[in-house]
Structure 1
Amino acid sequence: MCELLGMSANTPTDLCFSFTGLTRRGGETGPHKDGWGVAFYEHKGVRLFHDPEPCATSPIAEFVAQLPIKSKTAICHIRQANVGNINLANTHPFVRELWGLNWVFAHNGQLPGFSANSGLYEAIGDTDSEAMFCDIMNQLRHTLPRDAMPDQLAHTLVTLAEGYAQQGVFNCLLSNGDWLFSFCTTKMASITRRAPFGPAVLKDVEVAVDFAAETTPNDIVSVIATEPLTSDEAWDVYQRGEWKLWQQGEVIACGKVDVPVYENGQRVG
């Protein structure tokens, strides 16, 4: 399976520390060597980096890890291919425009034989993940008004996610730049850092940071990942079927739905 990384903050923040830890899992400390991608929101714009090469050895990933791009919302993905060839078109995160905004989506899991409803949005590659994203976008465009509020969006997204989770493993991150939606079928964890800030050490590489020296007392930064990235912090582990809607680093809506039990991608209950 793949791994996800998301960030929601109340002030423009760089992702260098967390991204450095995640990239080690892309072919060094983990098997996710089939490509990677990251999207940084800058107001309505999105700065994108994609590479079908292993991120642990990718010169582009090394460049991004050292580049302090400031963003309030970011989504990253490292891929272990199950469906679709290893190429640039199949590399997450995927981006589509809706209502004048860039929507970014990344998925961890597999929905065997998934078939999307027809609509304006169509997949470019041949992954079930991109097909699901297009299905989400088509249904949002068809069912919600342009000025839909976050609670309306969350209700629709949870309903869709619950349906996808009945067909296979559906862990996802989705954002329009204003908020970040997360849904867990199997594995996901989050941490919110706020004053008083302290040090943190990555699990996958000998890198430490003292957040107190990098932040202000008003900063709130939340990181969402498939598995905790640090070894000395208390992460909040999602339950199966749990979802959260993040904005400005805070959870503004959350809940839990019933989803099947999956082990190693296979439904067992």
Structure 2
Amino acid sequence: MCELLAMSANTPTDLCFSFTGLARRGGAVGPHRDGWGVAFYEGRGVRVFHDPSASADSPIAEVVRTHPIKSLAAICHIRQANVGRVGLENTHPFIRELWGRYWSFAHNGQLPDFRARPGVYQPVGDTDSENIFCDLLNRIRADHGPDDPDEALLETIVQASAEYARERVFNLLLSNGHWVFTFCTTRLVAITRRAPFGPAQLKDADVTVDFEAVTTPSDVVSVIATEPLTRDEQWDTYQPGEWRLWRDGLVVASGVESIPTWVHPD
């Protein structure tokens, strides 16, 4: 399977600490060595890195680990290939433009026979994940317009996500730079860091950060991941079927959909 990582913050924040821990799981302490990618939103633009090699020893991943790229929203994925060959076109997050914004999508799970319905968006690679992303955007484009409020889009996104989750395992990260939408069927956890800040130590690397030294009292930064990345913090676990919409580091909408109880494949 794969692992997911997302960040939502109220001030431009880098992902170096969390990405360092996640990247170790891509071929060093975990099996997810079939590619990785990350998208950082900067205003209306998005800075994207993809590599079909293992993140644990990728020179490009080293750049992301060591060069702070500050963003209000970011999503990341490390891949263990099940559907689709190992290749650059099949690495997440997938990116498409809709109504003048870049949308990004990363998925953990399997819907192996899924094909996107006909529409403007079609997959480039051969993963079920990219097919789902194209299908979702085609639904949004068909049912809404560029001036529709987020609440209207959210209703369609939640409904579609629940439909996908009723077919098979479907853990989702979706962002348009303004917000980060997350949906869980089996595994997602989250942590919100705000004042008073303290230190944290990664589970998979000998790295500790004192957040008080690199933040201000008004900062709010939330991290969402497949599994906890630190060993000394309390992470909040999603329920099966739970979705959350994050903006500026906080949950601004949430709910729980009725879905089957899936066993997450290892």
TM-score, length of structure 1 as denominator length:
0.98
| Matched residue, 1:61 | 61
Alignment of 1:150 with 2:182, yes or no, is no
1:167-224 Cα shifts (integer Å, max 9, x gaps): 1111010000000000001000000000000000000011000000000000000000
Distance 2:130 2:112 in 1: 13
Is the 1:83–1:127 Cα contact (8 Å) retained in structure 2? yes
Distance 2:194 2:242 in 1: 23
Is the 1:151–1:253 Cα contact (8 Å) retained in structure 2? no
| Unaligned residue ranges in structure 2 (runs of 5+) | none
1:96 to partner: Cα distance: 0.2
1:135 to partner: Cα distance: 0.3
Matched residues, number: 266
| Matched residue, 2:215 | 215
> Matches of residues 50-129 of structure 1 in structure 2 within 5 Å?
50-129=50-129
Is the 1:175–1:181 Cα contact (8 Å) retained in structure 2? yes
Distance 1:28 1:161 in 2: 32
1:258 to partner: Cα distance: 1.0
1:255 to partner: Cα distance: 0.4
Q: Find runs of 4+ consecutive structure 1 residues off by over 6 angstroms.
A: none
1:93 to partner: Cα distance: 0.2
Q: Which amino acid aligns with 1:45?
A: G
Alignment of 1:259 with 2:251, yes or no, is no
Secondary structure, counterpart of 1:18 in structure 2: helix
Is the 2:169–2:264 Cα contact (8 Å) retained in structure 1? no
Distance 1:8 1:2 in 2: 21
Secondary structure, counterpart of 2:80 in structure 1: coil
1:145 to partner: Cα distance: 2.0
| Matched residue, 1:6 | 6
Please give the root-mean-square deviation of Cα atoms over the aligned residues, in Å.
0.9
Secondary structure, counterpart of 2:164 in structure 1: helix
| Unaligned residue ranges in structure 1 (runs of 5+) | none
Alignment of 1:179 with 2:179, yes or no, is yes
Overall identity of the aligned pairs, in %: 64
Q: Which amino acid aligns with 1:207?
A: V
Distance 2:96 2:134 in 1: 8
Secondary structure, counterpart of 1:263 in structure 2: coil
Is the 2:186–2:264 Cα contact (8 Å) retained in structure 1? no
1:148 to partner: Cα distance: 2.1
Distance 2:264 2:222 in 1: 28
1:265 to partner: Cα distance: 3.5
Is the 2:120–2:138 Cα contact (8 Å) retained in structure 1? yes
1:32-74 Cα shifts (integer Å, max 9, x gaps): 0000000000000000100000000111101110010000000
| The 10-residue stretch of structure 1 (180-189 or 254-263) with the greater mean CA deviation from structure 2 | 254-263
TM-score, length of structure 2 as denominator length:
0.99
Alignment of 1:231 with 2:243, yes or no, is no
